[in-house]
Amino acid sequence: MAEQRYKGIRVLVTGGLGFIGSNLVHALVREGAEVTVVDGLISGCGGDEYNVAEVRDRLRVIIADIGDREAVSVALADQQVIFNLAGEVSHSMSISCPERDLRLNALAQLRFLESCRVWAPQARIVYASSRQIYGRPRYLPVDERHPVDPVDFNGVHKWAAECYHRLQARLYDQPTVVLRLTNVYGPRQSLRVSCQGFIATFIARALRREPVLVYGDGSQLRDMLYVDDVVEAFLLAGLTPLPSAEPYLVANVGGPRPMTLSEIARTLVGDDVHYVPFPAISARIDIGSYHSDDRLFRAWTGWQPRVDFAEGIVRTLEFYRQHAEHYLHGAVN
């Protein structure tokens, strides 16, 4: 039986029908939390009610944009921990539709935090940010002191949302934690929706036994983080006492080790990897190599990633083979 650290605790998960959010919801249910989900099921963001089908009878689900103050007020009342994972993740989409990204990742966040201040002022907020805010690394590994210099609108708007959360803590003493996540992979990520990141594309092609296409020479580094490990990071961030009197903390959350894109692709499909030139827009927003220095988060919580990429990919592919009709266009070979 799972450890029930959240037994009886009232928890809200925004974006709880999406990839990371739904995996977090499953964990919270196992841990005995009283879970409410708010998700707008916004096209292109990867939300899917099937992601929580197994635990649907143990949740309260509200289909609403987090910027909808009236709908959110009902969800927020008496909450103790708020996991704020709603938003758009696509970098390329943010270039083609910057105002959409602004609305989903900045304006909706500002409105949501105003609702939190009114309806759940004592709740701890844990916000899912991104390593994308750093832009092209000036040194590796990247720690929290690295300059913020986004290369796309998604990074700009995620940074704005971080600033909103910092002000929420400092102006209103609402305890707030921001987790800057590296590349996350695993079950329940939408493989049908485009622009969900390179790993979703790699996985979909591997399941169809198609060659994986790698932009550039494949030497770029990433630290891949299995979704169960990131879920544990959120669970710890929701309950671990903050390390100082400051009501705000920002911390990187990274994977077990840096890997090249070539190694990632070859773990999935062996030698069936093709190297192709970057499309023009992708070249302009590519960050090169990245991996996280997450010693701050580890020291604070005792967390460490436990699932190596090879093991995580086996689990991930098995999940999608079992549930292919819900997550993948076309047959799995």
User: Could you report the per-residue pLDDT of 256-312, keeping only the tens digit for each?
Assistant: 999 999 999 999 999 999 999 988 877 888 899 999 999 999 999 999 999 999 999
* 110-146 pLDDT tens trace: 999 999 999 999 999 999 999 999 999 999 999 999 9
For 214, half-sphere exposure in the C-beta direction (CA atoms, 13 angstrom radius) is 22
pLDDT of the residue at 185: 97
Residue 330 has pLDDT above 70, yes or no: no
Strand 259-260 vs strand 221-222: parallel, antiparallel, or unpaired? Answer: antiparallel
Between 284 and 172, name the one with better pLDDT: 172
Question: From 3.90.380.10, 3.40.50.720, 3.30.429.10, 1.10.10.60, which CATH number describes the 10-188+225-255+291-309 domain?
Answer: 3.40.50.720
* 17-46 pLDDT tens trace: 999 999 999 999 999 999 999 999 998 888
pLDDT of the residue at 195: 66
pTM assigned to the model: 0.96
Q: Which sign does the torsion angle of CA 119, 79, 47, 309 carry? A: positive
| Spatial CA neighbour of 45 closest among 4, 105, 96, 129 | 105
